Amino acid sequence: MSAYLFPVYALVHFAVLIWCLRLARLYRAPGALLVAMIAAGLVYDNGIIALGSTIGVGPVLEALSWPRFALHALATPFMMIAVTQMAVAGGVRWAASRAWQITVWILVIGGIIEGSLAHLIGLELEPACFNGVVRYTTNVNPAMFCYEGQLATTGGGPPIPSIVGNFVSLIFGIALWRRHGWLWLMSGALIMFVAASVPPSGFGLAPGNAGEVVLLLSFAATVNRFGKAHGRIATS
């Protein structure tokens, strides 16, 4: 069943990518380009996972899998800048303050450094198979071994930049809900937290990646709601 979900995830992220590029081109909507960048990374991520069983275990799939981890480490922290831009467009005053602007860039740079050290430096990938999905990962549960006797690796720990970024999204989501009654960003962040808490050992990547789909849709909807009006320009 999981094998059929990842192509759908990739298509939804592609739709978000096109939507946000359009918002950026027509309205210069704040946050649109950054959300498009993150969506592009997730199109690749889910696309490679979807093609894993077709490509099969080997050097080709392993090589194609490395950018998945690089995109997560280097692009994910920028979600904090994206939601900050959305919040500013939505009139959340403290989001535009100098103190927060400095803080959020410290968080982004720190997230990139932490993600690189934990998930890129010395990265060693191992094949994992689960419910029809074949992929390379850094943390192989015994239930996901592709080959009998394969050794599990320890991985790089929890994705701290993603957790921090989602928490920032939740804070701004609450602010936009209180100010405008806009529920989408807050709901997307909450659903992402729930989805990320589902153990991969029992359900694979499908729940967590589904949470990413909902979160990115909430980003795009929020950019459309606030960024579009804030950044509207003449297109003639």
pLDDT of residue 1: 62
Q: Which residues contact 220 (CB under 8 A, 6 or more apart)?
A: 16, 19, 20, 23, 35, 39
pLDDT of residue 149: 42
Query: How big is the chain by its Cα radius of gyration, in Å?
Result: 18
Most confident region among 105-109, 116-120, 124-128 by mean pLDDT = 105-109
pLDDT at residue 143 is higher than 80: no
Worst-scoring range by mean pLDDT, 25-34, 205-214, 215-224, 227-236? 227-236
Cβ-based neighbour number of residue 153 at 10 Å: 14
pLDDT at residue 156 is higher than 50: no
Tokens of 43: 């199109």
Please state, in angstroms and rounded to a whole number, the distance separating the CA atoms of residues 26 and 18: 12
% of residues, the chain, pLDDT over 90: 75
Token look-up 């799939």 returns 61
pLDDT of residue 233: 54
pLDDT at residue 231 is higher than 80: no
**Entry pTM:** 0.90
What ranges in the chain are assigned the alpha helix state H? Answer: 2-27, 32-55, 59-75, 79-89, 98-119, 160-180, 184-196, 200-203, 206-222, 228-230
Nearest to 89 by CA among 234, 230, 236: 230
The residues pairing with 128 across neighbouring beta strands, listed in sequence order, are 135, 145
pLDDT in tens, 62-88: 999 999 999 999 999 999 999 999 999
Token look-up 């689960």 returns 130
pLDDT at residue 236 is higher than 70: no
181, with CB counted inside 10 A (0-12, 13-18, 19+), is: exposed
More confident residue, 121 or 171: 171
Name residue 153's amino acid: T
Q: Which residues contact 9 (CB under 8 A, 6 or more apart)?
A: 42, 46, 50, 209, 210, 212, 213
Cβ-based neighbour number of residue 207 at 10 Å: 18
Name residue 93's amino acid: R
Contact yes or no for 223/30 (Cβ under 8 A): yes
Name residue 228's amino acid: K
Query: How far are the Cα atoms of 51, 60, 125, 227, 229 from residue 54, in angstroms, in the given order?
Result: 5, 11, 18, 40, 44
pLDDT at residue 140 is higher than 60: no
Q: Which domains does the chain have, with CATH numbers?
A: 2-226 (1.20.1070)
Average pLDDT, rounded, for the chain? 89
Cβ-based neighbour number of residue 93 at 10 Å: 11
Worst-scoring range by mean pLDDT, 120-124, 149-153, 209-213? 149-153
pLDDT of residue 144: 60
